[in-house]
Amino acid sequence: MPARLQIVVISEGVISANLLREYQTVAPYHGGAYAGVPFVPSIDDFVSSIQRICSSRADAVVGRVLLVAHGNEKGVTIGNDRLTLESFRKFKPKLAELKPLFDPIISSVVFQACELGRNPALLRCLSTVWGGIPVRAYSQQQHPDEPTGQGPSVVCRMRYMPDVSHKDGDAEGSAIRTQWQPH
């Protein structure tokens, strides 16, 4: 059975390098292999960091990604980039590059970012672009010196629902259509 990678990614400017050791020790607390803690200055670097970690561990699958970043009820700041419902379309192609690295049964993404859990619409968008994996965020203030997250959280997951419909004698109409339903 392949190792489940527990990847920790920290947005630049969130915590000091002194606190890095705490994240390194809690990264595998869900039973997976620790896979590195890159500081990322942008969404592009967030995606490429995860791709780089996964390419170096061909024997592993992504179990969980923990992203430590600044946030509020409108969105999350990853380095110099601000991800909100309004900016999602701009970043969607880059974020979608992570979908092949996620397994819808095993993988999840956790945002340790203040109040992002108050924006389930954004979490559903992320779940959808990543193939329906669970996306969790906390709805209260977070403190980077507490690497396990604080307070209540919200989990959004979009699940794949095949919808089989057809018209008699119409080959195109008999194709399986897909739709995403909230879970």
Task: Report how far apart, in Å, the C-alpha atoms of 176 and of each of 24, 181, 182 are.
Answer: 44, 16, 19
Number of domains making up the chain: 1
R_g over Cα of the chain: 17
Contact 44, 94 (CB under 8 A): yes
Of 75, 94, 98, nearest in space to 85 by CA: 75
**pTM of the shown model:** 0.75
Residue 20 belongs to a domain? yes
> Helix 88-96 to helix 120-129 angle, to the nearest 10 degrees?
30
Residue 172 belongs to a domain? no
Residue 176 belongs to a domain? no
Residue 111 belongs to a domain? yes
Residues 6 or more apart from 129 whose CB is under 8 A from it?
Answer: 92, 95, 96, 99
* Total Cβ atoms within 10 A of residue 167: 9
Residue 139 belongs to a domain? yes
Positive or negative, the CA dihedral 163, 168, 172, 173 is: negative
Residue 166 belongs to a domain? no
Contact 81, 42 (CB under 8 A): yes
Note down pLDDT in tens along the chain; length 183 residues. Answer: 677 888 877 777 776 555 555 655 554 443 444 556 667 889 999 999 899 888 887 777 888 998 888 999 999 999 899 999 999 999 999 999 999 999 988 999 999 888 999 999 999 999 999 999 999 998 888 765 555 566 666 777 765 443 333 333 333 222 222 333 333
Residue 163 belongs to a domain? no
* Total Cβ atoms within 10 A of residue 43: 22
Residue 47 belongs to a domain? yes
Instruction: Find the CATH number of the domain harbouring 135.
Output: 3.40.50
- Residue-range definition of the domain harbouring residue 84: 3-157
